[in-house]
Amino acid sequence: MATMQETKTTTVQEPVEEHFNNWSNVKGFDANFEQKTPVELAIKGHIPTYAAGVLYRTGPGACKVDAANGETLRLSHWFDGFSEAHRFQLIAPDKTHPAMRVFYNSRFSTDDIIEQARQTGKFKNMGFGQKRDPCQMAYHKVQTEYEPVAPPTPASINVGVTLSINMPGVGTNGSASRWDTSTGIKTLTAKTDFNVYKHLDPETLEPISLARQQDFHPDLDGFMTAAHARSDPNTGDLFNFNLTVGPVPAPTYRVFCVSASTGETTVLATFPGTPAYIHSLFLSEDYVVLCVWNTHVSHRDLNSSVMDCIKPFDPSKPATWYVVDRKTDRGLVATYESPAFFSFHTINSWQETTPTGETDIVADLIMFENLDFMHRLYYENLLSDSLAAKAICQGRTDASRSTITRFRLSAIPATPNQVPLTATIESSACKALSPELPTMNPNYVTRKHRYVYGVADRDDSTFFDGIMKFDNETKESLLWAHNAQSPGEPVFVADPDAANEDDGVLLSVVLDGFTGKSYLLCLDAHNLAELGRASVDGPVAFGFHGQHVPTRGLPTGDY
C-alpha cells in the first residue's frame, strides 16, 4: 500500500476563534424550514453571470415529528431524515435588473410519511439506520400480514440522496408540468441507493410519480443500486448496477446502460458477487468499473435497517473491482482485488496507455480505512449540544479519517480474464482535512483531472467545517473556513471561457451558526476567495448532493 503523502494546506480565511465550535447544529439537522413560494434573496458581493441557471439541492430536512399522542418521534440516522428539495434560481442581469438575482424555494417530498408519523408516533418505513423497538422488530412480520398495504404514493417514499436532470429511460410519464426552455430542464428525478426513483416538479419541487429500474428492463428487479449513477459526458448515456441480495438465487450484480438517445436499456454484464452497500461507481471511456468495497451485507431480512445488515468491517477480505466493457459485448472482462477499505464517493476514472501499449484504468475516490464514519452519522453523535457527540468528535483516530486515494488497475485484458488481478494504491492524501462530498470540473469526467473540491471535517465541530481544494500535481490544498460556518457540498460551475481546469466558481449552501440561517456561497474555484453570497431567511438543512443547470443549456449528467 502506498504511504500517506504529506499535504501542505493553506487556509484562505482564518477562523475567528480557535476552539471547538459548539454552536447549535440542531437547525442544520432538523431545520423544518420550507419555502414553497419562490422568494428573492438579498445578495452581498457578486455572482458571475455565467453561473445563471438553477441549482438544486436535496437531503434530509427534518429528523423529528411531534405525534398526536404527545410523544416525539426522533429519527436515528442522518440518512433517514425526511427528504426535502431546494431550488436556487440564479437570473442573469438584463435591462430591467442590472445585477444578478437569486430566488429560493423548497419543499418536503415526504408529507405522507410525516403525517403517518404524526398520527401514529411511529416510523414504519424501512430506514437506513433507524433504531427500532425490539417488540416492533419481533412482531413486524405478523403485523404486516394483517395490516392492509396501501399503494405507495410519491410522498410516502423517502427518496432524496441525489438528483438527475432529464434522466434517460424514465421519460416524463405525462407528469412533467413544465419544460424550462432556458435551461432544457424537462424532468427532475430524486434517487437513492435502492431501486426506486421519485419524479419532482422541476419548479415547485412537488413529488409527482414513482418509477423503478424494472421500468428500464425487467431483469433489473434487485433491491439495491447506486444513488450516484454515472453519465457519459458526450452521449448522456446513463450507467448503474442492480443488485439482487437474497441467497436464492446467489447474490447477483447486473451492470446496465440506459441510452440517452433511444431510452433503451442494455444489461452489459451479469455476475455473482458478495452483496454490499455501494453508493457510487466509476466510468472511463470504454469501461464501467464497479468496486465492491467492504460494506458487505448479510442475507438476513432487510426489514431491519441497512446498518443492521452491514457486516462488521473485515480487513482480511479484499475489496473486489469488476471491469465491464461498455462499448462492445465482451461483458465482464476482468476482476481486480485490493486491500480492504470503504468508500461512499468515487471522484473520477480514466484510461492511460502504457509504453508497452497496454491500457490501465486510474481511479480516484474518497477512502476510509473502516466503517467508523457511518456510525458517526447517527443524530445523537452529530448534534453538537451533546457532550457525547463532542467526545466522539475529539476522540477520532487517524483510522477513522478519510483520504483522497488513487488506485491503478494495470493492464486491462484484451479478452475476458477469470483470474483476479491486483489493484494498487498509488497515492493517498489530505487525511488532516478528512475530505468528503467530492466534486470536480464536470468537463473532465472520464479524463485525467488535476483538482478535487470537497468539504473538510477537521474536528472544529461535529460536522463539516470547511471547503477544500486539492491539487493532484503539487499535492497542496487550499481551505476556506470561518468559525461557526458549516458548508455543504461545493458544486463546480465552469466558466464557459475557461483557459484552465479551475476557471469557474463553487456554489455551496452554508449554515451560519451564529444567526441560525443559511446562505448560498459563491467562491472563486481558483483561490477559494469569496465572491458573493445570497442569504436565506431561515436554515437550509444540511443536505447531501445537488446539480447545477446553466441557463446556457449545457448537457448535465450523473457524477
- Please state whether beta strands 8-11 and 476-480 pair in parallel, antiparallel, or not at all (unpaired): parallel
Integer distance in angstroms from the first to the last C-alpha of the chain? Answer: 27
Q: What are phi and psi of 40, to 5 degrees?
A: -80, 140
Residue 472 — very low, low, confident or very high, per pLDDT cuts 50/70/90? very high
Note the pLDDT of residue 9. Answer: 82
In a domain, 555, yes or no: no
Averaged pLDDT score across all residues of the chain: 88
Note the pLDDT of residue 4. Answer: 60
17-21, 56-60, 519-523: range with lowest mean pLDDT = 17-21
Stretch 211-233: mean pLDDT: 96
Note the pLDDT of residue 8. Answer: 79
Stretch 308-325: mean pLDDT: 96
Return the C-alpha cell found at 299: 442475507
Q: Does the pLDDT at position 557 exceed 70? A: no
Note the pLDDT of residue 34. Answer: 95
Q: Does the pLDDT at position 303 exceed 70? A: no
In a domain, 3, yes or no: no
Note the pLDDT of residue 3. Answer: 56
Note the pLDDT of residue 174. Answer: 39
In a domain, 199, yes or no: yes
In a domain, 129, yes or no: yes
In a domain, 337, yes or no: yes
Note the pLDDT of residue 121. Answer: 84
Strands ordered across the beta sheet of 101-108: 39-40, 101-108, 82-91, 53-62, 545-550
Q: Does the pLDDT at position 16 exceed 60? A: no
Note the pLDDT of residue 315. Answer: 96
Q: Does the pLDDT at position 235 exceed 50? A: yes
In a domain, 446, yes or no: yes
Stretch 51-60: mean pLDDT: 96
Note the pLDDT of residue 31. Answer: 84
Note the pLDDT of residue 6. Answer: 61
Stretch 75-100: mean pLDDT: 93
Stretch 177-181: mean pLDDT: 54
In a domain, 370, yes or no: yes
Q: Does the pLDDT at position 160 exceed 70? A: yes
Of 391, 520, 516, 535, the residue nearest 25 (C-alpha):
516
Residue 477 — very low, low, confident or very high, per pLDDT cuts 50/70/90? very high
DSSP assigned state of 26: H
pTM: 0.92
CA distances to 112, 154, 462, 541 from 115, in Å: 5, 14, 30, 20
Q: Does the pLDDT at position 556 exceed 60? A: no
Residue 393 — very low, low, confident or very high, per pLDDT cuts 50/70/90? low
Cell 471561457, located at residue: 497
Note the pLDDT of residue 399. Answer: 81
Note the pLDDT of residue 338. Answer: 98
Q: What is the extent of the structural domain holding 69? A: 8-550
pLDDT tens for 327-363 read 999 999 999 999 999 999 999 999 999 999 999 999 9
- How many of the other CB atoms lie within 10 Å of CB of 491? 22
Q: Does the pLDDT at position 206 exceed 80? A: yes
Q: To 10 degrees, the CA torsion angle through 155, 161, 167, 173?
A: -10
Residue 184 — very low, low, confident or very high, per pLDDT cuts 50/70/90? confident
Stretch 436-451: mean pLDDT: 97
Cell 486491500, located at residue: 339
Stretch 44-65: mean pLDDT: 94
> Above pLDDT 90, what percent of the chain?
71
Split into its structural domains, the chain has a count of: 1
Q: What are phi and psi of 29, to 5 degrees?
A: -105, -15
Return the C-alpha cell found at 401: 479519517
> Above pLDDT 70, what percent of the chain?
86
74-83, 195-204, 251-260: range with lowest mean pLDDT = 74-83
Return the C-alpha cell found at 310: 452491514
Contact between 46 and 116 (Cβ < 8 Å): no
Residue 493 — very low, low, confident or very high, per pLDDT cuts 50/70/90? very high
Return the C-alpha cell found at 214: 424494472
- 96: which residues sit within 8 A by CB, 6+ positions away? none
Q: Does the pLDDT at position 20 exceed 60? A: no
Cα 21 to Cα 426: distance, rounded to the nearest angstrom = 35
251-260, 273-282, 362-371, 389-398: range with lowest mean pLDDT = 389-398
Residue 375, marked binder: no
Residue 545, marked binder: yes
In a domain, 494, yes or no: yes
Q: Name the burial class of residue 294, with classes exposed (0-12), middle (13-18) and buried (19+) by CB atoms within 10 angstroms of its CB.
A: buried
- 513: which residues sit within 8 A by CB, 6+ positions away? 21, 23, 24, 25, 461, 484, 485, 486
Task: Find the helix or strand (DSSP H, E) in which 523 lies.
Answer: strand 517-524
Residue 217, marked binder: no
Note the pLDDT of residue 553. Answer: 60
- Find out whether the peptide bond into 249 is cis, omega within 30 degrees of 0: yes
| Dihedral angle sign, alpha carbons of residues 219, 224, 227, 231 | negative
